[in-house]
Amino acid sequence: GGVGKTTLVVAVYNSIADHFEALCFLENVREASSKHGLLHLQSTLLSETVGEIKLTSVKKGISIIQHRLQQKKVLLILDDVDKEEQLQALAGRPHWFGLGSRVIITTRDKQLLKSHGVERTYEVKELNEENALELLTWKAFKFENFDPSYKDVLNLAVTYASGLPLA
């Protein structure tokens, strides 16, 4: 973790959200799933896209998601997914959603995407030292130029973080 998957997906979401009828950004699916369960995540997905619906089981949730969203152009973000059952319960198959829909999944597990049949993936790469230093500088000082006396400390931080300057 820490390479910027969530930050990137937030930027993508914000830049394309206007092109969709229904939107849902489920953050921290791994944590939310273990704390509150899949039924809670399904309820959140449905309440954000079609309105409140009382769910009694994950199986029923799957059926309702398919039925209620298959005609809608949906943008669904599933952030930090770590189990196949999360994908099955929230975005089982492409035909669950209407034409032009997009499901964007962030995960640390490439195999999970393969096993779910995800066709297109993008791997967020770690930054090189120069770019990591630039990002850290912007985050720390809000501008590119900084007091040269900080240079050694910033370089040390970038080296320590191994390409993950916000870690």
Most confident of 70-74, 90-94, 122-126: 70-74
CATH of the domain at 40: 3.40.50.300
Burial 53-75 (b: 16+ CB within 10 A, else e): bebeebeebbebbeebbeebebb
Q: Give the C-alpha separation, 157 to 153, whole Å.
A: 6
* 12 and 36, same domain (yes or no): yes
pLDDT in tens, 23-41: 999 999 999 999 999 999 9
- Cβ-based neighbour number of residue 46 at 10 Å: 21
* Euclidean distance between CA atoms 14 and 116, whole angstroms: 26
What tokens appear for 91 in the block?
């975005």
Domain count, the chain: 2
Residue 34 sits in the same domain as residue 70 = yes
pTM, two decimal places: 0.81
102 and 56 in a single domain? The answer is: yes
- pLDDT of 79: 96
Looking at the fold, whether 141 and 70 belong to one and the same domain comes out as: no
C-alpha dist (Å) from residue 90 to 62, 96, 139, 159, 166: 7, 10, 34, 39, 30
CA distance 100 to 87: 19
* Domain assignment of residue 109, given as a range: 5-115
**41 located within any domain:** yes
